[in-house]
Amino acid sequence: MTAAADLPRDGAELRGEALHARLSRTWDTPGDLYARLATVDHKIVGQRYIVTAFAFLLLGGVLALIMRTQLATPDSGLISADRYNQIFSMHGTTMMFLFAVPMGEAMAIYLIPLMLGTRNISFPRLNAFSYWVYLAGGIMIWVAFLLNVGPETGWFSYVPLAGPEYSAGKRTDFWAQMITFTEVSALATSVSLIASILKQRAPGMAIGRMPLFAWAMLVTSLMVVFAMPAVMLASSFLIADRLVGTQFYNPTEGGDALLWQHLFWFFGHPEVYIIFIPGLGFVSQITETFCRRPVFAYPVMVLAMVSIGLLAFGLWVHHMFATGLPRVGYSFYTAASMMIALPSGLQIFCWIATMWLGRPRFDAPLLWVLAFIVTFVMGGLTGVMVASVPLDLQLHDTYFIVAHFHYVLIGGMVFPLLGAITYWFPKITGRLMHEPLGKATVALGFVGFHTAFFPMHVTGILGMPRRVYTYPAGMGWDTLNLVSSIGAFLFAAAILLFVLNILWSLRRGRPAGPDPWAAPTLEWATSSPPAPYNFPHIPVVTGHAPLWDEPGDLPVMTGLRVDDRELLLTTVMDADPEGREASALPSIWPLIAAIATTILFIGSIFTPWAVVWGAIPAAAALIAWFWPKSGDVPPEPVIE
Amino acid sequence: MMRGWRFTGDAAPLPTHAFGTASLTWWGVVGFMLIEGTGFALAIASYFFLMAQEKQWPSGALPPDLLWGTIATVVMLLSELPNIWLKRMAEAERIGPVRAGLVIVALFGVALLVIRGFEFAHLNIGWDRNAYASILWALLLLHTVHLLTDFVDTVVLAALMFTPHGLEGRRFVDTSENALYWHFVVLSWLVIYAIIYWVPRLG
């Protein structure tokens, strides 16, 4: 097949300003409302995702502060038991489903195509659809909460508590459909990310040369693919039990409450790694750049992430030690749970070795990494402790567990995320964040976090159970709780400082230029913020650290059409150029399809028939989405 | 400071569409097959989990009648003949046979949906009777959603191939991947058929 010679392409004749003008016409998102709603630019969708997920972090944080205010003193009458149930359920739900998982994907949607040297994410309309569905699900559950029909049975909604008998009304149905919204969205984005990472890498970026963040997102996305169907199935069974009288979880009719726990934790444990593996990716990129050398033992890092991904599916039962299981089951899941410390530990040593061998520059992003290492190691140690059954039975459902998973999740994901935002902020906005303020934020955040959560280990050992709305005086928990509450407010103050820094830096931050950190990966080879088409020419990679390997002019490949949105596809292992493929143009239909899907999902909370009549507009929107439009750019003639 | 560029290769001679792993569409379809395959696997695991809790299986009912399920299986297997042929014709980029193949596969889809209606009517138990009934209906419904989705896909694609848009290379890729997805629908049915019709008859 030969290319039509008269089509405009980048190359020696078309470069510089002329190329910029031509590519901008093809790839730009104009400023009018319609164009903004129809955009499929991964950078715009990614930014929306990041801002939305961050907003949910703040909302979930406010709920945490309300709980800490209530628990600061014994016998507090600030909020009722029922309200408290909804608040802790919403806190967990918001943080897990609306902040942590979407945030990892959000950062990837923005960064991965830039790191890989391509013009857009694959299936960009699916990706836009994913955002709208996520937004709709988040708004739905928060509106329900504000209308007093928020979830009330915890972020994991155990049956029978969440079943039709004990959770009357629509509260749990809203929760179950929130699951459907967020999982549809996460699954769609994961498929886009997997295809992008495997097929759209710059020529020469063999799979063994990918940035570690790309590896992290490949593992994460594959985990989403295999884990999220479990929770969708579980919540569909739940809503069916509640709405149409199925008996999946009803023990009097042959159902089993433990079926819920198995399905939920088959998803729920990998979920933890789905949340923090992107964090490992952030840490690796930051460590590399600020230590000015490639991460020590790249193959070990990759294998560690892959083995965490695999092991994560073998230890869900450790959440169920208290349900009564066969003894051999205990031993197996204890061993698997302890084993996960090995790859995690290897990575920690590799980062430390990178710092030891490199020339570290202790800017705010690297300080967040240090905060991560200390905190995450502590969380990992308590993790190994509760992997052992006798200890777990003692500590189950106490504040010790609350301390453990906040160390792992905030230490493992939030600290790296704040570092990552500081690190990539100049790429996204063209301006640097305020560095001294950034350093102060790390210090305050670190102190606040440990003040809040360290005492909870002790509170838990002293026997205070989780999810109680208040406690009597004289149990020996009073001071510890007060200290935790003070720490929570300090940590919140650090988050507030971070937000203020962002707002200030958006306007006043020091202009960054394309590569303010002298970083090695491809996203720093283009302007800040990047042009709508990402790169004028497609970069060619010759090693692990493309920008360090090629200190002078960057090798590039030319020849993509500039009058159509075209991507360069490369082979999965070696990234040899394989083909050019058209990338979808902007379309309003993903938004319309998301609205139709939203009507279907929300309708199905009230009547099962919504699934039937709601499917018709949804299907119509999907067909319109796929149907080629007359205004589309004509393809190269291949069929005569 | 932006770096300069050094031209080292030209992508212009590369093809603009390809089949199998060389196309993004293939990866998208495989991604969704993995997701849905995981869903099937977990639903099947739930079936056996619930079965293990029961002394009698099926509890409180006769197994589903064999007739309609078996007819569905035979028709499903027969549909693979035109489907395999369609996939080959798509990869040979022959528009005439592709149009004919899509229409034939779509007609098989109609037949299978009608048969599926009879299957639901012969399950011998309502979904709300007990956990056995619920998981039985869930498995059949889950598969029906896939049947319906791929039927609609096939109809839309068939319509598209009769328009001038059908003369683009990437539409042949779409046809080929649609045929791949049909393989998935048929294969997953064979497993589900064995479970819902034959497992209750083994004990």
Q: A560 and B11: CB-CB below 8 Å?
A: yes
Kindly state whether residues A619 and A536 are assigned to the same domain: no
pLDDT at A631 (0 to 100): 64
Alpha-carbon gap: A87 to the closest alpha carbon of chain B (Å): 31
E strand or H helix at A257: helix A257-291
In the structure, what pLDDT confidence band is assigned to residue A314 with cuts at 50, 70 and 90?
Answer: confident
CB pair distance less than 8 Å for B12 and A228: no
Q: Which range among A248-262, A321-335, A360-374, B175-189 shows the weakest confidence by mean pLDDT? A: A321-335
In a domain, A471, yes or no: yes
Q: Which of residues 240-259 of A touch B (CB under 8 A)?
A: 240-241, 244-248, 250, 253-256, 259
Would you call A507 exposed, middle or buried from its count of C-beta atoms within 10 A (0-12, 13-18, 19+)? exposed
Closest Cβ–Cβ partner in B12, B50, B135 for A559: B12
Length of chain A: 640
Compute the distance between CA of residue A185 and CA of residue A138 in angstroms, rounded to an integer: 11
**pLDDT confidence tier of residue A75, bands split at 50, 70 and 90:** very high
Digit-coded pLDDT (tens) for B75-91? 999 999 999 999 999 99
Dist. CA A359–CA A289, nearest whole Å: 10
Judge whether A113 and A200 are in contact, CB under 8 Å.
yes
Residue among B9, B31, B38 minimizing CB distance to A577: B9
Which positions in chain A touch B135 (Cβ < 8 Å)? Answer: 248
**Which CATH number is A139's domain given?**
1.20.210.10
Band (B167; pLDDT cuts 50, 70, 90): confident
Examine the pLDDT at A333 and tell me if it is beyond 60.
yes
First vs last Cα of chain B: how many Å apart? 75
CA dist B101 and A401 (Å) reads: 59
pLDDT of amino acid A318: 83
* DSSP-based helix, strand, coil % in chain B, nearest 5: 75, 5, 20
Q: Which residues contact B29 (CB under 8 A, 6 or more apart)?
A: B177, B180, B181
Same domain, A518 and A600: no
In this prediction, residues A117-134 reach a mean pLDDT of 98
Closest CA to B120 of B135, B134, B141: B141
> CA-CA distance, A618 to A597, in Å (whole number)?
6
Q: Are residues A547 and A622 in the same domain?
A: no
Interface contact flag, A579 B15, Cβ < 8 Å: yes
- Quick check: B52 contacting A, CB < 8 Å? no
Query: A218 CB near a chain B CB, below 8 Å?
Result: no
Q: Distance (Å, rounded) from C-alpha A622 to C-alpha A558? A: 34
Taking the C-alpha atoms of residue A213 and residue A217, their distance in angstroms, rounded to an integer, is 6
What distance in Å separates residue B192's CA from the closest CA in chain A? 16
Cβ neighbours for A23, distance < 8 A, ≥ 6 positions apart:
A10, A531, A532, A533, A536, A562
Contacts of A122 in chain B (CB under 8 A): 24, 27-28
Q: What is the pLDDT of residues A373-422, one digit of tens each?
A: 999 999 999 999 998 888 988 999 999 999 999 999 999 999 999 999 99
> In terms of domains, do A600 and A471 share one?
no
With respect to residue A638, please indicate whether it lies within any of the assigned structural domains. Answer: no
Q: A1 pLDDT exceeds 50?
A: no
How many whole angstroms separate alpha carbon A403 and alpha carbon A456? Answer: 5
Distances from the Cα of A303 to the Cαs of A212, A264, A289, A291, in angstroms?
11, 27, 21, 22
Residues 262-321 of A with CB under 8 A from B: 262-263, 266
Q: What is the pLDDT of residue A469?
A: 96
List Cβ neighbours of A612 (8 Å cut-off, separation of 6 or more).
none
Residue type for position A428 = I
Residue A71 domain flag: yes
For residue A121, the number of C-alpha atoms closer than 13 Å in the C-beta half-sphere is: 33
Residues A501-518 have pLDDT tens digits of: 999 999 999 999 999 999
pLDDT score at A3: 47
Instruction: Write out pLDDT tens, residues A532-582.
Output: 999 999 999 999 999 999 988 999 999 999 999 999 999 999 999 999 999
Whether A638 has a pLDDT exceeding 80, the answer reads no
- The residue written with tokens 């402790």 in the block is A385
Asked if residue A502 is part of any domain, the answer here is yes
Tell me which residue range forms the domain holding A357: 31-582
Distance CA A285, CA A302 (A): 13
Neighbour-count burial of A640, counting CB atoms closer than 10 A to its CB (0-12 exposed, 13-18 middle, 19+ buried): exposed
Say if residue A71's pLDDT is above 60. Answer: yes
As a whole number of angstroms, the distance between CA A10 and CA A16 comes to 10
**Cβ distance of B21 and A557 shorter than 8 Å:** no
In this structure, is the dihedral angle defined by the CA atoms of residues A221, A223, A229 and A232, taken in order, positive or negative? negative
Quick one: A503 exposed, middle or buried, by C-beta within 10 A (0-12, 13-18, 19+)?
exposed
pLDDT at A338: 87
**Measured between alpha carbons, how far is A561 from A119 in angstroms, rounded to an integer?**
12
- The 10s digit of each residue's pLDDT in A285-312 is 999 999 999 999 999 999 999 999 999 9
Distance CA A338, CA A271 (A): 18
CB contact under 8 A, B10 and A11: yes
Minimum-distance CB partner of A557 among B9, B28, B39: B9
pLDDT (0 to 100) of residue A12: 86
Per-residue pLDDT band for B203 (boundaries 50, 70, 90) equals: low
Same domain, A450 and A361: yes
Burial A154-167 (b: 16+ CB within 10 A, else e): bbbbebbebbbeeb
**CA B177/CA B145 separation, integer angstroms:** 18
- A568 and A577 Cβ atoms separated by less than 8 Å: yes
DSSP state of A465: B
Using a CB-CB distance cutoff of 8 angstroms, which residues of chain A are in contact with residue B129? 247, 253
Pick from A256, A525, A527: CB nearest B50 = A256
Q: What residue in A sits closest to B57 (Cα-Cα)?
A: A254
Residues paired with residue A581 on neighbouring β-strands, in sequence order: A567
When the pLDDT of each residue in chain A is averaged and rounded to a whole number, the result is 94
B8: chain A residues, CB-CB within 8 Å = 540, 555-557
Q: With beta carbons less than 8 A apart as the criterion, state whether B183 and B83 touch.
A: yes
Answer whether residue A584 shows pLDDT above 50.
yes
What mean pLDDT is predicted for residues A241-255?
95
Neighbours of A585 (CB within 10 A): 18
User: Residue B197 carries which DSSP code?
Assistant: I
Answer whether A639 sits within 8 Å of B3, measured CB to CB: no
What percent of chain A shows pLDDT beyond 70?
Answer: 98
pLDDT bracket for residue A279 (50, 70, 90): very high
The distance of B67 to chain A (nearest Cα, Å) reads 26
Which residue type does A362 have? F
C-beta atoms of B9 and A194 within 8 A: no
A557 vs B10, B131, B168: nearest CB: B10
Token pair belonging to A143: 């509106």
Query: Which has the minimum average pLDDT: A185-194, A223-232, A326-335?
Result: A326-335
Burial class (CB in 10 A: 0-12, 13-18, 19+), B35: buried
Position A630 pLDDT exceeds 90: no
Q: Classify residue A424: in a domain, yes or no.
A: yes
* Residue bearing tokens 């889950």: B142
Asked whether the bond before A426 is cis by omega within 30 degrees of 0, the reply is no
Do A554 and A612 fall within a single domain? no
The answer to whether B158 and B106 are in contact (CB under 8 A) is yes
Residue A15 lies in a domain: no
- Say how many domains are in chain A: 2
Interaxial angle between packed helices B66-91 and B95-121, expressed in degrees from 0 to 180 and rounded to the nearest 10:
170
Same domain, A549 and A596: no
| Cβ-Cβ contacts under 8 Å for A242 (sequence gap 6 or more) | A163, A164, A167, A172, A173, A176
Determine whether the interchain pair A628/B165 forms a contact, defined as Cβ–Cβ distance below 8 Å: yes
CA dihedral A521, A523, A526, A530 (to 10 degrees): -170
Which of B8, B35, B170 has its CB closest to that of A556? Answer: B8
* Whole-number CA gyration radius for chain A: 25
**Contact state of B15 with A580 under an 8 Å Cβ cutoff:** yes
What backbone phi and psi angles, to 5 degrees, belong to A515?
-140, 75
Residues A256 and A173 grouped into a single domain? yes
| Mean pLDDT on A578-607 | 96
Contacts of A569 in chain B (CB under 8 A): 22-24
Average pLDDT estimate for A354-360: 97
Cβ proximity of A386 and A306 under 8 Å: no
What's the per-residue H, E or C state across A269-336? HHHHHHHHHHHHHHHHHHHHHHHCCCCCCHHHHHHHHHHHHHHHHHCHHHHHHHHCCCHHHHHHHHHH
Q: Do A255 and B43 touch (CB under 8 A)?
A: no
Those residues with Cβ within 8 angstroms of residue A560's Cβ, 6 or more apart along the chain or in another chain = A9, A10, A119, A538, A566, A567, A568, A580, B11
Q: What is the pLDDT of residue A5?
A: 60
**Domains, chain B, ordered by start:** 23-55+63-202 (1.20.120.80)
Residues A368 and A279 in one domain: yes
Sheet hosting strand A554-558, strand order edge to edge: A538-539, A554-558, B5-10
- B27 CB burial (10 A radius; 0-12, 13-18, 19+): buried
- A456 and A602 in a single domain? The answer is no
Structure letter (DSSP) for residue B166: G
Cis geometry, peptide bond prior to residue A529 (ω within 30 degrees of 0): yes
CA–CA separation, A367 vs A375, rounded Å? Answer: 12
- How many whole angstroms separate alpha carbon A121 and alpha carbon A111? 10
| pLDDT at residue A345 in the model | 94
pLDDT class of A639 with cuts at 50, 70, 90: very low
Would you say residue A15 has pLDDT above 50?
A: yes
- Amino acid type, A253: E
Tokens of A181: 């919204």
CA distance A534 to A567: 11
Together in a domain, A339 and A363: yes
Place of tokens 């204890």: A334
For residue A50, which of A559, A502, A450, A539 has the smallest C-alpha distance?
Answer: A502
**Same-domain pairing of A528 and A603:** no
SS (H, E, C) A92-135: HHHHHHHHHHHHHHHHHHHHHHHHHCCCCCCCHHHHHHHHHHHH
| Residue A14, domain member (yes or no) | no
Find all residues with CB under 8 Å of A105, minimum gap 6, and list them.
Answer: A49, A186, A189, A190, A193, A220, A278
pLDDT for A606: 95
Confidence band, pLDDT 50/70/90 cuts, at residue B44? very high
Listed in order, strand segments (DSSP E) in A120-246 are none
